[in-house]
Structure 1
Amino acid sequence: MGFEITVIIPTYNVAKYIGEALDSVVNQTFKGNVEILLIDDCSTDETPSILEDYKNDHPDRAITILHQERNARQGTARNRGLGIAQGKYVFFLDGDDTIDPNTFEKMIEKAEGSQCDFVMCDWVYAYEDRKLMYVNYDRFLSNEYLEGEYCERLLEAATYFTVNKLYNREFLLKHGITYGEGYIYEDYEFYVEVAQRAEKIGIVSNPFYHVRVNEDSTTKKDRKTTIHIDSLVKAVEATITKFDPRWEQSYYHLYKYIVKKTMNYIRERAPMGQKRKTIKKVLTILNRKRTDYYVPRDVVPLFYFYFRRKYVQNSRINQLILIDDLHHKGQLTPLFRKAMKAKETMLKNKTISKLNQKRLIAKKNNELQRYEELSIKENVILFLGFDYRYIGNSKYFFDYMMNRTHNTHELYFVTTNKEVPSKYRITPRSLKFYKILNQARIVIGESWIPLDFKKKEGQEWIQLWHGTPFKKLFFDSHEPFITTFNKNHKRDKQRDISRWDYLLADSTKAKEKFTTAFAYPEDRILNIGYPRVQWLKDNRYNQELVKELKQSMDIPEHKKVILYVPTWRDYNYKKSVLDLDYTLDISRMQQLLGEDYVFINKDHSMGRNQLKSPNVITPPNTLEVQNLILLADVIISDYSSIVFDGLAIDKPFYLFINDFDKYEKARGVYGDMARDLGDFFITTEEKLAEKIVKEDVRLDHLMRLKRDYATGDDLNSNELLLEKLTRTNLVNF
């Protein structure tokens, strides 16, 4: 039997975690043949017996257990596994880590589809309480692939992991790439070699590899011996000996990594008297290789002193230690900025203004600190709205709860919108807001929640989100345009995600996508539908309301209404001149359709569709989009989730998409959804007009879509959400 993948897992005293690691391999969605090689490195706990039991409990799995004759560390164990591996691809997994169920399926799909030497996925820290923490900000992760000399961009990484990669075994064998043996930091040379030998690397944007935060890890012990610094010097020597880069920036990035790690290790793990000796040894190895390498001009203060001031190249050890100490204490950057700006004078009025400002800030901080000491009130629910707006799921669920009889809870909505009655309305970031935020038992959001809002122990935060994603969302997308301008984008957003206790979904397909997009536990996603869609279901036959809406917008009753709602394009992010070629030419559509149709234009890009015509209406922002869906006869969009809202009440829709390839590079859409929706894709105004006139939407196709993309008509989302909150004891009603 041939194996597509060999998983190599070295083990040493991981009895507490190895079962979970193996479960994560066995429970992959990938259906191909997987070989599991377990190499135990003379464990002294129950690890060997756990491995044997696991193998016996899984006779249908190709599990091989090998025992080392002596403890020789992970590099030796991994090399032994690599020597007997039979799979086309090799994946290394540490015995205390885990992988997401989709890991192999997604990685091998990219590997097979583009002939990569290896494919890497993103990674995340995993804590004992199942909380994940994303800390990565490597800019190269915004690429689908790295090719040629740019494969060495891997050397830019803040952490050199070899375990989150699916290697073509022939690639490793061809170049004789193996791990270092007999010392701790054995993966340095392996990591550098695969980067400098690869011709093509595929990148999966999801953080599928979960690095357990394990204080018992072998790389954190023996701090009173020289084992760490001796291993570090050996690893650096072996790595630099094999270092032969193609890219001009590779020296800088590798040396930066090694020097920074060296300074960290000597601070945390070196015995007394070994600090300067170790730095000197490492710098000697680096500078013997080369000192005249490229250094970027725009670098952070730490690396400015290290490399632009040439403390590294000139082996200025005392200065390196001083700068590292200032950096570690958080003092380097402020001092650097002061020195660069060199402000010698300050106007008196500015001084007074700043003093007053400081007093006001201090007063507010004192108030906030006092609020943090308040106890949680079991019956308080705080709605943050959709970025403080009274719209969407937040509005409809709030309205439902506000209008219930026999309420015993306090409701608050954070907004300036006066449609919310004053007794419920709270001004964003006011002192009252912070007071209620600290008293609320439940906090409900519908978009990203600011990180400075502190979650208290005992609170439950519910994320309603704002739509079923057709365009790839967050971790499912490389988001190259956004991450180019904000390297901390994903790290900051994941910090918010980690605070959500529950996430609302509107369909089985949405739940599936949210699981990978947010790296979020499936069992905490509530697939019970959206309150805003429930409003549509409740009013789908309300002809009186439709009549009122048409009258309010001066739409003749006999005319058919076409709602046009395009979505934002990532490739216009931070652009002063927007590329609007993707938009529908409504003027042309009017010519093709005639006077029997009215367009409601929700395109607010200020592009070519700002037309003055009685048959083209630009609705006010204050008008809820659900009203527009209700009165529309046809919906035209592209990548927006609005079509799934309409699908719930059987609204015909078309997707006008003329930039698919361009959008795919900028953000991308989910491939399975694109296939499901392919029959609704239209690329020209002429074809679209023809479809609309013929009413060419197959009802049976809509019904099939509803099974995966909508909740059942018999479900009431508001009631189910309230029931879930009550059943899980989130609040006492």
Structure 2
Amino acid sequence: MTLLSVVLPVYKVQGYLRQCLDSLLEQRFTDFEVVAVDDCSPDHSGAILAEYAARDPRVRVVSLAENVGLGRARNAGLDHAVGEYVWFVDSDDWLAEGALTAVADRLADTAADVLIVGFDRVEWDGRVAVPGAGRLLAEAPETFTAQEWPRILNTLHVAWNKVVRRDLLLKLGFRFGTGWYEDVSFTFPLLAAAPRISGLSRICVHYRQRRTGAITRTLDDRHFEVFDHWAHAMTLVDRYSDSAEALRPVLFRRMMWHYLVVLRNAQRVPKASRRRFFDRIAEDYHRYKPAVGYRLPPGAMGLRHRLVARRAFVLFLALQWMIGVVRAVDRVRYLPLIEAEGLAKRVRQAAYRAYYRAQLRLPVDESLALYAAYWYRGVTCNPAAIASKAAELAPGVRSVWVVGRGRVTTVPPGTDYVIAGSASYYRALARARWLVNNVNWPNWAVKRPGTTHLMTHHGTPLKMMGMDQADHPAAAKDQDFHAQMRRADRWDFSITANAHTTIAWERAYPCRHEILEVGYPRNDRLATATAADTAVVRDQLGIRPHERVVLYTPTHREWLPLGRQVLDVEAFADLLGPDTVLLVRAHYFAVTDEHGAPARRGRIVDVSAYPVVEDLYLAADVMVTDYSSAMFDFAVLDRPIVIYAPDWPAYRELRGVYFDLMELPPGEVATTVSELAEVFATAAYESAGAAEKRASFRRRFCYLDDGKAAERVVRRVLLGEAAP
């Protein structure tokens, strides 16, 4: 018999599921199965499960015809489990290294019916906290019952920290209830009934504290369901345990603690419902208070109990307010002082901000769409493609661009624009009905009711972004993740280029917005390009018909000085031969002369400041890049790509990546200059093998590039049409 069945309910966890499955399948202990229950998940979770099941026979997928909720999904997994023990793991959490070995060893030593394991809490911003459960489990006897050691009832009442003998569940007929807080009516009756409990203080589960999407961070009256599950738990404890009366004082205190935690959390019970929730607590207080009495908890919690007993809701609110004031005062350590240096600039900025706040009080301009790209560098990228299509499909919408003062000369003729930092800029930003950008607007920008913010992004991610950078601080230029998320909270829509990007962005930006998985609008031009389009661009760049064009697009490395390249482009150009033009496109972070025209030095043309990167893609016969997102865009043209990866291990470790580029490259890979020279000397970059790699790459990343992405965005965002 398989020792362990891991039951994994899956619903809308596409951003976290791979990490969970990898943490299971990469364990050294192997005597287990994963029963993954696809609870009719509407995202890409089902495809991820199918991928893992295809490559690892330990993964079995149970697909439900309709969404039934966490409790019933766990029941479905239990029905298919064959292990001696069952572990109900949540699919947005993940296991610590060595956890399964430690669990198996502890089960072998104790023959426990229920094994409770330690965990830590991983906050959405990367902070890790270790609760007191580990210390409590370390103090527990080797084996015990709940009556013998009732302190065990104070461990977190969840299913995922308990490994349970399957026969015990079948014997008792245990099933998870429906709705929220179903763990309550599972955990306490199980512990009351279990003849042999043991603890493992070692951290086995990394408990993810999701910023959005978790029940504990959802404002809804469904939190009233906690009362039903506690009532059911009390009934089942009476049914399954001969020592129910002895357990009642501990259970009662735990119930009251749970109720008050829910009530005091501003992200759970709506403000208008808190009085009613408090009254329900008071009802259960008097209904379940042990006849023999109970020991009041110390401090403020004990005072809350007294106020609940008296049904004193107003005094309860006053207590909460006083506690909040004390904590706020304690956090204030100093007041910032205004320095004299730069005072004039700050005064000017303050005047503009005051003007901006005044404009916020005026009506929204229902016909104005404000566009920006790359921190006001010009009219480009996805926003430019959307604006162009909007002019065709939504002529009633007036498009205005924000550009930096030094970029005005790059604005195409006939394009309306405002200069960043000017009064007209603040006015447009305050009153625009739509705000479209491929990076975030400033921190101080306000998301007005009735306005729509569209984040277009500017690349398919290989390197980790947003919150995923918390684990790779060496490469995170902006480590204020709270500010990052506040900016992302303003988004109403977020564009993704493919399923891979959708999954990555869900982890990187855990906010409440609608994902538009429609392809990148800027690639519409590439998807519909003709040979004539290529000829025009090559002629504009001064490239002769017989010349081969190689485009080199290195990415930025945060740990290297700006401008330092990992490839000697002069030596590389010499290797390419006399009939090849090498276009060098440095990362925009390294561009100092933003007005520089293409400068040709022999066979090398510096196109770093060239404003329209799609022109360069059209001109090129082959791209050489390392880890730049440019590869995903260039792949739309179905032209050869060569990956030059001299520092892949360092980049992968320091920057963090979403997939192994060496295992899924878009073409030939070289890790040294000599290998790169060999790729071109033998024309391996255009071989059948390279074409096969490119085709596989395109199937994964370019399947939405049909030339209609901008239209899909305009119809959904500007015209308000329903998503297709």
Correspondent of 1:470 among 444, 462, 472: 462
> Secondary structure of 1:703's partner?
helix
Q: Sort the Cα spacing of 1:528 and 1:204 in 2 relative to 1 into closer, same or farther, 3 A.
A: same
Match of 1:496?
A: 487
Correspondent of 1:603 among 586, 599, 602: 586
Runs of 5+ consecutive residues of structure 2 not aligned to the other structure = 10-35, 104-116, 162-197, 228-251, 259-296, 308-321, 592-598
> Secondary structure of 1:532's partner?
helix
Q: Sort the Cα spacing of 1:507 and 1:324 in 2 relative to 1 into closer, same or farther, 3 A.
A: closer
- After TM superposition, list the pairs within 5 Å mapping 1:141-180 onto structure 2: 154-155=129-130, 160=131, 180=151
Match of 1:328?
A: 328
> Secondary structure of 2:607's partner?
coil
Q: How many Å separate the matches in 2 of 1:683 and 1:445?
A: 36
Match of 2:432?
A: 440
> Secondary structure of 1:388's partner?
coil
Q: Sort the Cα spacing of 1:325 and 1:60 in 2 relative to 1 into closer, same or farther, 3 A.
A: closer
Pairwise CA distance, 1:691: 1.8
Pairwise CA distance, 1:623: 3.0
> Which AA in structure 2 matches 1:546?
V
Q: Sort the Cα spacing of 1:109 and 1:677 in 2 relative to 1 into closer, same or farther, 3 A.
A: farther
Pairwise CA distance, 1:7: 7.7
Q: Does the CA contact (< 8 Å) of 2:580 and 2:603 recur in 1?
A: yes
Match of 1:11?
A: none
> Which AA in structure 2 matches 1:374?
L
Correspondent of 1:648 among 636, 639, 643: 636
Pairwise CA distance, 1:653: 0.5
Pairwise CA distance, 1:35: 13
Q: Does the CA contact (< 8 Å) of 1:34 and 1:87 recur in 2?
A: no
Q: Does the CA contact (< 8 Å) of 1:6 and 1:88 recur in 2?
A: yes
> Which AA in structure 1 matches 2:523?
V
Q: Does the CA contact (< 8 Å) of 1:118 and 1:202 recur in 2?
A: no
Q: How many Å separate the matches in 2 of 1:442 and 1:507?
A: 24
> Which AA in structure 2 matches 1:399?
S
Q: How many Å separate the matches in 1 of 2:349 and 2:155?
A: 49
Q: Sort the Cα spacing of 1:533 and 1:713 in 2 relative to 1 into closer, same or farther, 3 A.
A: closer
For 1:375-398, what per-residue CA distance to the aligned partner results, in whole angstroms no more than 9, with x for missing partners? Answer: 223221111222212221122332
> Which AA in structure 2 matches 1:454?
V
Q: Sort the Cα spacing of 1:209 and 1:637 in 2 relative to 1 into closer, same or farther, 3 A.
A: same
For 1:345-386, what per-residue CA distance to the aligned partner results, in whole angstroms no more than 9, with x for missing partners? Answer: x9xxx59x95x7787566444422321122223221111222
Match of 2:716?
A: 724
Correspondent of 1:592 among 549, 561, 575: 575
Q: Sort the Cα spacing of 1:410 and 1:181 in 2 relative to 1 into closer, same or farther, 3 A.
A: same
Pairwise CA distance, 1:409: 1.9
Match of 1:532?
A: 522
> Which AA in structure 2 matches 1:389?
R
Q: How many Å separate the matches in 2 of 1:677 and 1:183?
A: 51
Q: How many Å separate the matches in 1 of 2:454 and 2:326?
A: 41
**Identity percentage of aligned residues:** 17
> Which AA in structure 1 matches 2:485?
Q
- After TM superposition, list the pairs within 5 Å mapping 1:18-417 onto structure 2: 60-62=76-78, 87=85, 91=89, 103=92, 107=94, 122-123=122-123, 136=125, 138=127, 154-155=129-130, 160=131, 180-181=151-152, 198=202, 210=214, 211-213=216-218, 328-329=328-329, 332-335=332-335, 363-390=351-378, 391-402=380-391, 404=392, 407-416=395-404, 417=407
Correspondent of 1:690 among 678, 688, 708: 678
Q: Does the CA contact (< 8 Å) of 1:588 and 1:685 recur in 2?
A: no
Q: TM-score, normalised by structure 2?
A: 0.59
Pairwise CA distance, 1:675: 2.5
Match of 1:669?
A: 657
> Secondary structure of 1:61's partner?
helix
> Which AA in structure 2 matches 1:5?
V
Q: Does the CA contact (< 8 Å) of 1:637 and 1:656 recur in 2?
A: yes
Pairwise CA distance, 1:721: 2.1
Cα RMSD after superposing both structures:
5.5
**2:459 maps to 1:452:** no
Match of 1:291?
A: none
Q: Sort the Cα spacing of 1:658 and 1:721 in 2 relative to 1 into closer, same or farther, 3 A.
A: same
Q: Does the CA contact (< 8 Å) of 2:389 and 2:714 recur in 1?
A: no
> Secondary structure of 2:525's partner?
helix
> Which AA in structure 2 matches 1:397?
I
> Which AA in structure 2 matches 1:394?
P
Q: How many Å separate the matches in 1 of 2:141 and 2:544?
A: 73
> Which AA in structure 2 matches 1:395?
A
> Which AA in structure 1 matches 2:709?
S
Runs of 5+ consecutive residues of structure 1 not aligned to the other structure = 9-21, 37-50, 65-84, 92-98, 125-135, 141-153, 233-261, 273-321
For 1:626-675, what per-residue CA distance to the aligned partner results, in whole angstroms no more than 9, with x for missing partners? Answer: 22111111111111111111111112101111212211211222236653
- Aligned length, in residue pairs: 529
> Which AA in structure 1 matches 2:651?
Y
For 1:451-482, what per-residue CA distance to the aligned partner results, in whole angstroms no more than 9, with x for missing partners? Answer: 31111111111111001112233334444225
For 1:702-722, what per-residue CA distance to the aligned partner results, in whole angstroms no more than 9, with x for missing partners? Answer: 233322211456442222222
Q: How many Å separate the matches in 2 of 1:442 and 1:722?
A: 11
Pairwise CA distance, 1:446: 0.5
Pairwise CA distance, 1:589: 2.3
Pairwise CA distance, 1:568: 1.4
Q: Does the CA contact (< 8 Å) of 1:463 and 1:502 recur in 2?
A: yes
Q: Sort the Cα spacing of 1:55 and 1:717 in 2 relative to 1 into closer, same or farther, 3 A.
A: closer
> Secondary structure of 1:676's partner?
coil
> Secondary structure of 1:469's partner?
coil
Q: How many Å separate the matches in 2 of 1:530 and 1:636?
A: 22
